Chain A
Amino acid sequence: DAGVIQSPRHEVTEMGQEVTLRCKPISGHDYLFWYRQTMMRGLELLIYFNNNVPIDDSGMPEDRFSAKMPNASFSTLKIQPSEPRDSAVYFCASSPGHNIMNTEAFFGQGTRLTVV
């Protein structure tokens, strides 16, 4: 498997524009996580899914942020409208299950978002 695939790797956009980040989890993994990494706040969990169903979105900062998982192989994180303070590296991760033998979270390489 190629691992967790995120696109784009880098995104530069103007304030007010809509941004869509994409993630393809590892095939067969039941859980998908979206994280945001900044210097100020470190690594924050935004939302995660179990079998395509959102379980906990309490980390989503504002209504401008939304995430979907229409099927087991694809998820999106959308910011509309984007603001400069949304600039960060956004990571997607997936894990097989919830037993200790299969809870390792595999991370994608991240999308570096810059909002100017």
Chain B
Amino acid sequence: GEDVEQSLFLSVREGDSSVINCTYTDSSSTYLYWYKQEPGAGLQLLTYIFSNMDMKQDQRLTVLLNKKDKHLSLRIADTQTGDSAIYFCAGGTPSKAAGNKLTFGGGTRVLVKP
């Protein structure tokens, strides 16, 4: 099955850019996702990228996908204190039979310092 790995922790100063990295093993994942978990809350979808894309930009968020290296990254521009959270990458291949069964990485805790 899919194995997804992330670094555990990232500290960044307010206003700087954050880059969160993720590697995955299953190249058949059709879609790759980034979720955000704030303290005491569930996960919330931030963005996703289709496996045949290299890059996707959505306001302050930029997702880069290197299929050859099976590497996914999330860049947050102008990081704010409200961006402090745990960020999860996940892979999945939606199908009618299986829905969208996701495999999550362990999460990267991002701490934004003022």
B96 at interface (Cβ–Cβ under 8 A)? yes
Beyond A42-B107, A100-B50, whether A110 also contacts B99 by CB under 8 A is no
Residue of B50, B88, B95, B101 most packed against chain A (CB within 10 A): B101
A77 to B101, CA, bound (A): 18
Residues 80 to 112 of chain B near chain A (Cβ within 8 Å): 88, 92, 94-107
Residues 24 to 60 of chain B near chain A (Cβ within 8 Å): 31, 40-45, 48, 50
Q: How many whole Å from A95's CB to the nearest CB in chain B?
A: 6
State how many residues of chain A have any CB contact under 8 Å with chain B: 24
Q: Across the interface, do B43 and A42 meet the contact criterion of CB distance under 8 Å?
A: no
Q: Across the interface, do B45 and A104 meet the contact criterion of CB distance under 8 Å?
A: yes
Chain A interface residues toward B at CB < 8 A: 4, 30-31, 42-43, 45, 48, 50, 55-56, 91, 93, 95, 97-100, 103-105, 107-110
In addition to A98-B94, A98-B96, A105-B43, 15 A-B residue pairs with Cβ atoms within 8 Å of each other are A4-B42, A30-B99, A42-B107, A43-B43, A45-B103, A93-B43, A95-B99, A98-B98, A103-B99, A105-B100, A108-B42, A109-B40, A109-B41, A109-B42, A110-B41
